[in-house]
């Protein structure tokens, strides 16, 4: 019995470790602060309460494929085959939102996160600007600090067992239902209405998993 328990714990720890091992940039950005006021496509929604969260997991090959060549070549995440399903963000959501702009967003401006914090979470979210932007756009609406926001994401991400996405996508019959089933099989506590798989044809774009305010799985729909 003790041997079996040890093996279960070992597998769990190895899965966490595997998600936190990746290649780092040779040099880090000096400036990666985010200011939504300088971006015409951004807005602030500060008077809407958070009802639940979406953990957004992005499939790197599809993300990189859709970038213009010049941008792809300077995006670290796209330069190596180290990254598969990464965390794009953890979004505060409103059940009463009728449009995208009704969800909590850019609730306050914050200073640039310490580089040490960026490095600590880089394998999960491989980009200095990505981490900073997601914290300011989405994290500031529900969390006191960037560290609290990122540590929460890291904990939730580490609890998920990710199926072999590459293997699934090799199947010519693959669709969102097959990918969803693979996730549900690996994560028995996750319900069919508690995740959303988005694909363009046979290409996986992202997976969204929903959590209530106590960070338990919850229905993504109203």
Q: Is the CB of residue 68 less than 8 Å from the CB of residue 12?
A: no
CA atoms within 13 A on the CB side of 25: 16
Looking only at Cα atoms, what is the longest distance across the chain? 60
Count of all residues that appear for the chain in the document: 222
Q: Is the CB of residue 141 less than 8 Å from the CB of residue 104?
A: yes
25 vs 205: CA distance, rounded Å: 24
Question: Known catalytic residues?
Answer: 88, 134, 138
14 vs 23: CA distance, rounded Å: 18
């Amino acid at each position: 019995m003790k041997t079996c328990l040890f093996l279960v714990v070992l597998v769990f720890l190895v899965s966490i470790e595997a998600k936190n091992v990746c290649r780092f940039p040779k040099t880090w950005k000096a400036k990666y602060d985010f200011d939504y006021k300088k971006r015409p496509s951004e807005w602030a929604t500060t008077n809407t309460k958070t009802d639940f969260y979406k953990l957004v997991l992005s499939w790197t090959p599809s993300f990189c494929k859709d970038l213009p060549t010049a941008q792809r070549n300077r995006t670290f995440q796209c330069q190596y085959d180290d990254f598969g399903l990464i965390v794009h963000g953890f979004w505060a959501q409103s059940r009463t939102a009728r449009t995208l702009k009704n969800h909590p967003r850019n609730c306050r401006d914050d200073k640039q996160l310490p580089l040490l914090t960026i490095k600590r979470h880089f394998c999960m979210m491989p980009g200095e600007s990505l981490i900073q932007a997601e914290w300011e756009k989405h994290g500031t609406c529900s969390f006191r600090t960037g560290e609290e926001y990122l540590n929460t994401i890291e904990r939730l991400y580490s609890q998920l067992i990710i199926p072999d996405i590459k293997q699934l996508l090799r199947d010519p019959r693959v669709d969102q239902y097959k990918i969803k089933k693979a996730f549900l099989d690996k994560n028995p506590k996750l319900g069919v209405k508690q995740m959303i798989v988005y694909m363009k044809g046979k290409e996986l774009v992202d997976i969204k998993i929903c959590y209530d305010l106590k960070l338990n799985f919850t229905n993504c729909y109203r």
